[in-house]
């Protein structure tokens, strides 16, 4: 078993074709509270993953859950994190428009099920290598639902999109956001919730405006502090 990633809340291990996510103990928390919290989050994440998988959203496929040891066992996804894709590579660029639209469709499917990811960044999106003998197409997977929750609020779904746009800009993929939105709207149009996308984007603009205002105020404060 190989440790492949360490995070603030959990460690990831690879054992053959299985990925194991283990929530780690926090020494600053009272043991009883820590165990209850880790168990709750392990079960909560696994429940959301199963719900999404059952509805054909591209997320990790759970093999089993060991709630006593705070572990989720999933099938390993052979691919690359979106943030690690070489945006300057011409071949990758040819694939990116389709990948972006596919990502938008996956997010829309997730939101139609009233699931908010709550950390939708390019670090939590995997592009498969397309090495499957039965399916050579590259697929987009959304991963790490440790902070996710169920919500019907347009505000929460809009916030997912604002976070994603910010992450795309920060990692050199900002030019793809319109393609993401195209895929998102196309997926909503297939459902009985076709009018919902317009409501979400109305909230998107409002959330984005608030974020921009906060960033501007923060920048002003930092400049004042520098001159003190």
Confidence of residue 94 (pLDDT cuts 50, 70, 90): low
pLDDT at 194: 80
* Catalytic, out of 61, 92, 95, 119: 119
Mean pLDDT along residues 203-228: 67
Confidence of residue 133 (pLDDT cuts 50, 70, 90): low
CB-CB contact of 87 with 80 (8 Å)? no
In the chain, domain spans: 2-75, 79-221
Q: What is the DSSP letter of 53?
A: H
Mean pLDDT along residues 69-77: 96
Length of the chain: 228
What is the rounded (10 degree) CA torsion for 33, 148, 115, 177? 170
- Residue among 32, 57, 59 nearest 45 (CA): 59
What is the rounded (10 degree) CA torsion for 212, 214, 218, 219? 20
* Range 2-75 has CATH code 3.40.50.970: no
pLDDT at 135: 56
Give the Å distances, CA to CA, from 89 to 84, 86, 170, 172.
12, 6, 18, 12
Burial of 222 (0-12, 13-18, 19+ CB in 10 A): exposed
pLDDT at 122: 96
What is the pTM (predicted TM-score) of this model?
Answer: 0.89
Decide if pLDDT at 137 tops 60: yes
Computed over every residue of the chain, the mean pLDDT equals: 89
CA distance 110 to 42: 19
- Residue among 117, 116, 181, 103 nearest 153 (CA): 116
Decide if pLDDT at 97 tops 60: yes
Annotation marks residue 15 as catalytic = no
- Residue among 187, 167, 169 nearest 120 (CA): 167
In the CATH scheme, what is the homologous superfamily, with its name and number, of domain 79-221? Transferase(Phosphotransferase) domain 1 (1.10.510.10)
Higher pLDDT, 124 or 95: 124
Give pLDDT tens digits for 149-205.
999 999 999 999 999 999 999 999 999 999 999 999 999 999 888 888 999 999 999
Give pLDDT tens digits for 75-91.
999 999 999 988 776 55
CB-CB contact of 61 with 18 (8 Å)? no
Confidence of residue 108 (pLDDT cuts 50, 70, 90): very high
Q: Which residues of 142-158 are buried (b: 16+ CB within 10 A; e: fewer)?
A: bbbbbebeebeebebbb
Decide if pLDDT at 53 tops 60: yes
Q: Give the pairing of strands 2-6 and 71-75.
A: unpaired
């Amino acid at each position: 078993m190989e440790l492949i990633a360490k995070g603030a809340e959990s460690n990831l291990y690879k054992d053959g074709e299985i990925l194991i996510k283990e929530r780690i103990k926090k020494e600053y928390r009272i043991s009883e509270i820590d165990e209850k919290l880790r168990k709750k989050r392990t079960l909560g994440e696994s429940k959301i993953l199963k719900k999404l998988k059952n509805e054909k959203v591209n997320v990790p496929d759970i093999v089993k859950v060991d709630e006593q040891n705070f572990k989720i066992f999933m099938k390993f996804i052979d691919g690359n994190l979106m943030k690690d894709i070489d945006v300057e590579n011409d071949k990758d660029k040819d694939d990116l428009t389709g990948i972006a639209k596919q990502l938008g469709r996956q997010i829309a499917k997730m939101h139609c099920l009233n699931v908010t990811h709550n950390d939708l960044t390019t670090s939590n999106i995997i592009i498969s290598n397309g090495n499957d003998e039965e399916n050579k197409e590259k697929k987009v997977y959304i991963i790490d639902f440790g902070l996710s929750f169920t919500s019907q609020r347009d505000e929460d779904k809009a916030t997912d999109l604002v976070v994603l746009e910010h992450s795309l800009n920060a990692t050199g993929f900002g030019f793809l956001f319109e393609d993401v939105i195209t895929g998102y709207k196309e997926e909503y149009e297939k459902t009985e919730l076709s009018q919902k996308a317009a409501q979400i984007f109305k909230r998107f603009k409002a959330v984005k405006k608030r974020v921009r205002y906060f960033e501007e105020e923060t920048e002003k404060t930092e400049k004042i502090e520098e001159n003190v």
